[in-house]
């Protein structure tokens, strides 16, 4: 398992090119199951989860041809048909469950393993009941046996009126994809509206899907018989952008962040301004300068988009360890997404957790230590903390980072971070 060796403290300066969005690319790739015609996708991020999804699609009968730089993929259908998304293909990736909706819509059957991915919800795991209960309303029948969902439908799925009991990114995506080929009209209420979901619907619309967003959280879909050949460029990664913005503020650095539309992260930028960072936005770029003194904030709560994203909570907590007072972050999306706290404490962080609220004492001088990553965003937070710590840190299990950050250490090196990958 690879490790990062980081010698801090470092101040970052320069330009960062943001890669394609992992969380937009994953559902878009899954949705190619709905097609008979070829699909070309550009701006694919080169991260592990994408490789996993491409292998899964290949195992289900798609032909995958990647360009030389692996950023463009052409996906065509072969005659081979397999309806089993095996445990080995989805055990490391939660997004594996996103093939269920498209498979049931296109092939009327699917055997999908329960997915793996980051452990973010403590003992409650990461349930998929909203996916299953709502697909059932479109006509899917299912049974759970030996860790697999055996799903089928007698004929085409049938459009319906569905209100999600709670906002869920993955369930919204699964339902939108399934409804594209269902008979008649589907109305989805209380949808997640993350920019990555809008990217999925823009992609599907480019292929002739009839999808309309009505009001804030309602999506109307009229099923079509098939989708047309299309070429689409995936949006930039929102969480990678946020992570580099936080890094600039943390190290009192100065970064020009390219290839991302700032209007999609207004909430995050407003919190960065609150801590004192100077933020200038352009159409597709952000210039961010860290403040001399980071100010504390005592009321951040993670929330569904357009609220503050849970996927940046760990990174922002690192920043608040350096603020001039006491800060508070409440995690409202996942019950126990605080595993990074224990590791930050090794560096000297003073953080106290009560229920789902973390109280963070500011003015911490981090001192280098050995750290272990526990999930994707936690691993990014540890890297950020190590960059701002005095001395040498080793961050282990960076395979978590590799799942979602493209060439993280190369991008960091280019802006002045003393970081080295130690391969084992």
Closest separation in Å from C-beta 229 to ligand EPZ:
26
Q: Which is nearer to ligand EPZ, 305 or 366 (CB)?
A: 305
Q: Which residues between 175 and 194 bind ligand EPZ (CB under 6 A)?
A: 192
> Where do we find the tokens 């694919």?
44
Q: Looking at beta carbons, which residue is closest to ligand EPZ?
A: 170
| Pick from 249, 251, 253, 254: nearest CA to 269 | 249
Burial class (CB within 10 angstroms; exposed 0-12, middle 13-18, buried 19+) of 312: buried
Q: Which residues contact 172 (CB under 8 A, 6 or more apart)?
A: 164, 188, 191, 192, 197, 219
Question: What is the closest distance, in whole angstroms, from the C-beta atom of residue 95 to ligand EPZ in the complex?
Answer: 4
**Which residues in the 320-339 window bind ligand EPZ by CB under 6 A?**
333-334
- The residue written with tokens 């403290």 in the block is 9
Decide: is 200 part of the binding site for ligand EPZ (CB under 6 A).
no
Q: DSSP label at 223?
A: -
Q: Which is nearer to ligand EPZ, 116 or 362 (CB)?
A: 116
What part of residues 349-368 is at the interface with ligand EPZ (CB under 6 A)? Answer: none
The correct pick among 21, 23, 315, 374 for binding ligand EPZ (CB under 6 A) is 23
Choose among 311, 282, 90: nearest CA to 192: 311
Give the pairing of strands 39-42 and 230-233: parallel
Query: Does residue 244 bind ligand EPZ (CB under 6 A)?
Result: no
Residue 234 CB, nearest approach to ligand EPZ (Å): 13
Task: Let me know if 245 is a catalytic residue.
Answer: no
- Which of 19, 31, 113, 168 forms a contact with ligand EPZ (CB under 6 A)? 168
The DSSP string of 166-202 is S--HHHHHHHHHHHHTSBSEEEEES----HHHHHHHH
Return d(Cα 25, Cα 2) in angstroms, integer: 25
- For position 101 contacting ligand EPZ by CB under 6 A, the verdict is no
Q: Which stretch binds ligand EPZ (CB under 6 A): 65-73, 141-149, 162-170, 183-191?
A: 162-170
Q: Does 237 bind ligand EPZ (CB under 6 A)?
A: no
What DSSP line would sit under 322-352, residue for residue? TSSS-EEEE--SSTT--HHHHHHHHHT--EE
* # chain residues binding ligand EPZ, by CB under 6 A: 25
Contact residue for ligand EPZ among 404, 405, 415, 419 (CB under 6 A) = 404
Look up residue 92 and give its two tokens.
């490391």
377 binds ligand EPZ (CB under 6 A): yes
Instruction: Identify the active-site residue in 10, 118, 191, 401.
Output: 118
Q: 153, 125, 155: which is closest to 141 by C-alpha?
A: 153
Instruction: Provide, rounded to whole angstroms, the least separation between the CB of residue 127 and ligand EPZ.
Output: 4
Q: Find the shortest distance in angstroms from Cβ 155 to ligand EPZ.
A: 25
**From the list 6, 60, 73, 169, which residue makes contact with ligand EPZ (rule: CB under 6 A)?**
169
Half-sphere exposure of 362 (CA within 13 A, CB side): 19
In whole angstroms, the minimum distance from the beta carbon of 377 to ligand EPZ comes to 5
| Among 204, 249, 216, residue whose Cα is nearest residue 41 | 204
Residues 116-155 that bind ligand EPZ (CB under 6 A): 118, 121, 126-131
> Judged by CB under 6 A, does residue 238 bind ligand EPZ?
no
Which DSSP string corresponds to 54-118? HHHHHHTTEEEEE-TTSS-EEEEE-S----EE-HHHHTT-GGGGGGHHHHHHHHSEEEEEPP---
Nearer to ligand EPZ, 14 or 127 (CB): 127
**Which window, 75-83, 165-173, 229-237, 390-398, contacts ligand EPZ (CB under 6 A)?**
165-173
Match 């920019």 to its residue by tokens: 195
Torsions phi, psi of 412, nearest 5? -70, -40
**Rounded Cα–Cα distance for residues 21 and 88 (Å):** 24
Residue 112 as a binder of ligand EPZ (CB under 6 A): the answer is no
Binder to ligand EPZ among 33, 157, 294, 376 (CB under 6 A)? Answer: 376
Hey, is 122 helix, strand or coil?
helix
We find the least distance from the C-beta atom of residue 247 to ligand EPZ, in angstroms, to be 17
Q: Is 311 in the site for ligand EPZ (CB under 6 A)?
A: yes
State the catalytic residues.
Answer: 118
Binding site for ligand EPZ (CB under 6 A): 23, 26, 94-95, 118, 121, 126-131, 166, 168-171, 192, 310-311, 333-334, 376-377, 404
């Amino acid at each position: 398992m690879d490790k990062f060796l980081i010698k801090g403290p470092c101040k970052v300066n320069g330009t960062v090119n943001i890669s394609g969005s992992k969380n937009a690319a994953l559902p878009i790739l899954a949705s190619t199951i709905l097609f008979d015609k070829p699909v070309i996708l550009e701006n694919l991020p080169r991260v592990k989860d994408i490789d996993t999804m491409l292998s899964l699609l290949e195992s289900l009968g798609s032909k995958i041809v990647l360009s030389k730089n692996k950023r463009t993929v052409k996906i065509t259908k072969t005659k081979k048909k397999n309806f089993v998304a095996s445990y080995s293909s989805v055990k490391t990736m939660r997004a594996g469950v996103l093939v269920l909706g498209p498979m049931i819509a296109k092939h009327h059957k699917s055997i999908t393993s329960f997915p793996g991915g980051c452990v973010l919800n403590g003992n409650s795991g990461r349930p998929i009941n909203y996916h299953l209960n709502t697909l059932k309303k479109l006509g899917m029948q299912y049974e759970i046996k030996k860790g697999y969902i055996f799903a089928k439908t007698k004929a085409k799925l049938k459009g319906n009126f569905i209100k999600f009991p709670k906002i869920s990114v993955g369930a919204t995506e699964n339902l939108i994809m399934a409804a594209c080929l269902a008979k008649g009209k589907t109305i989805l209420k209380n949808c997640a509206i993350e920019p990555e979901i809008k990217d999925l619907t823009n992609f599907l619309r480019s292929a002739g899907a009839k999808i309309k967003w009505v009001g804030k959280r309602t999506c109307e879909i009229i099923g079509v018989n098939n989708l047309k050949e299309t070429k689409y460029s995936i949006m930039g990664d929102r969480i990678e952008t946020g992570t580099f913005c936080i890094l600039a503020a943390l190290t009192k650095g100065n970064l020009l962040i390219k290839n991302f539309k700032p209007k999609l992260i207004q909430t995050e930028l407003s919190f960065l301004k609150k801590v004192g960072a100077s933020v200038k936005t352009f159409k597709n770029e952000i210039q961010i300068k860290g403040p001399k003194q980071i100010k504390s904030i005592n009321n951040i709560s993670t929330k569904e988009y357009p609220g503050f994203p849970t996927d940046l909570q760990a990174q922002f907590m690192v920043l608040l360890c350096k603020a001039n007072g006491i800060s508070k972050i409440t995690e409202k999306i996942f019950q126990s997404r605080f595993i990074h706290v224990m590791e930050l404490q090794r560096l000297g962080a003073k953080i106290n957790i009560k229920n789902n609220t973390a109280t963070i004492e500011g003015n911490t001088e981090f001192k280098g230590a050995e750290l272990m990553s526990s999930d994707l965003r936690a691993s990014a937070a540890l890297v950020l903390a190590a960059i701002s710590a005095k001395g040498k840190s080793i961050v282990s299990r960076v395979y978590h980072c590799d799942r979602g950050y493209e060439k993280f250490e190369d991008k960091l090196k280019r802006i002045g971070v003393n970081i080295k990958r130690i391969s084992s």
